[in-house]
Structure 1
Amino acid sequence: MNELPRTAKLVTVWLLIITAVWLGVEWAQWQRQRSRFSVDDLQQTIVLRRAPDGHFHWPGEVNGVAVDFLVDTGATSTALPLRLAREAGLAEGAPLRSATAGGLADGHASRADLRLRGGVQVDRLRVAVLPRLETPLLGMDVLGRLHFSQRGGELHIESGQAAVR
């Protein structure tokens, strides 16, 4: 029986090492994302933990498209990047100008169905679509309808209100 050449053995070993490292990194990222969000069924509370970037993120969907919202208590309304609005099939509404942390931004209004992990949903929410926005922002138009409190690096949201209208 012929043995594999030494080079083939080395290539195989390196491919196995690279695959193991890649899988380890993917698993660590999944764990970090998973550990930032939890639901305490006993207390009917959604718990968001501060991410390494210093913000709270709430995973969800816009018209069925997966998104990771940045929770922004300083934003009056929920805002979406133009590329996400297009991917979610949102209709372009009236033009609008929005005051953002980076100054005034032009965009347009639209309506979207939001589903947030933990069972919170908002149907036909009026959203601002801003072409220069990079991250979807979950604003007080949604957060203001929920009871929440911040303790340390955690945001606790009562999940008893699954459908927010």
Structure 2
Amino acid sequence: MNEFPRTLKLLTIWLLLGTLVFLGVQALLHERQRPRLTINGGQVTLQRGPDGHFHWPGTVDGREVVFLVDTGATTTALPGALAAQLGLRREGTLQSQTAGGTVMAWQARAEVGLAGGLRFSNLTVTVIDRMNGPPLLGMDVLKRLRLVQDGATLQASLP
């Protein structure tokens, strides 16, 4: 019995083809979710993501993150899990109004960087322990920029 039966060979081929198709679809979905931006001098142009939002790659205390640009957020907000991983120190508690209602949160300070060379040192951020999803880039940062939205693009530059 040196050869696989014909049925087993066909099954193996179909499983391999199915795996390749699955991996190809996963790679395509990952590529579609990746933030699209161009940097031209001091201007960053973000393309709206497939979810309808603008996403801006950056860092928090050196850790790479992708911020969700949120003009409805007063401050930049981080999930509690990310703050714990970064070892951020609690500087006070507060109540925060979110789309889901009022939640307890706390404040910390962090170094925030955005693709395009923008840096915000010692920025006070809001940490929401039960926050799911990406960090939010709030108006505390956005108000320091000149923003122009034109359809599916958002241009940001220093004023």
Normalising by the smaller structure, the TM-score range is 0.7 to 0.9
In structure 2, the CA distance between the partners of 1:112 and 1:18, relative to structure 1 (3 Å rule), is farther
Stretch of structure 1 that moved more, 12-21 or 1-10: 1-10
TM-score, scaled to structure 1 = 0.82
Structure 1 residue 96 displacement after superposition: 1.2
Aligned length: 157
**Corresponding residue number in structure 1 for 2:38:** 39
In structure 2, the CA distance between the partners of 1:44 and 1:12, relative to structure 1 (3 Å rule), is farther
Stretch of structure 1 that moved more, 131-140 or 9-18: 9-18
Identity, in percent, stands at: 50
TM-score, scaled to structure 2 = 0.85
Please give the root-mean-square deviation of Cα atoms over the aligned residues, in Å: 2.1
Distance 1:94 1:67 in 2: 24
Task: Tell me if the contact between 1:64 and 1:88 (Cα under 8 Å) persists in the aligned partners.
Answer: no
Structure 1 residue 122 displacement after superposition: 1.6
Distance 1:4 1:77 in 2: 63
**1:141 partner amino acid:** D
Pairing 1:12-161 to 2, within 5 Å after superposition: 12-34=12-34, 36-41=35-40, 44-135=42-133, 136-158=135-157, 161=158
Q: Which runs of 5+ in 1 are unaligned?
A: none
Task: Tell me if the contact between 1:37 and 1:46 (Cα under 8 Å) persists in the aligned partners.
Answer: no
Task: Tell me if the contact between 1:96 and 1:106 (Cα under 8 Å) persists in the aligned partners.
Answer: yes
**2:25 partner amino acid:** V
Structure 1 residue 7 displacement after superposition: 4.6
Distance 2:59 2:22 in 1: 27
Secondary structure, counterpart of 1:48 in structure 2? strand
In structure 2, the CA distance between the partners of 1:65 and 1:14, relative to structure 1 (3 Å rule), is farther
Structure 1 residue 12 displacement after superposition: 2.9
**1:128 partner amino acid:** T
**Corresponding residue number in structure 2 for 1:3:** 3
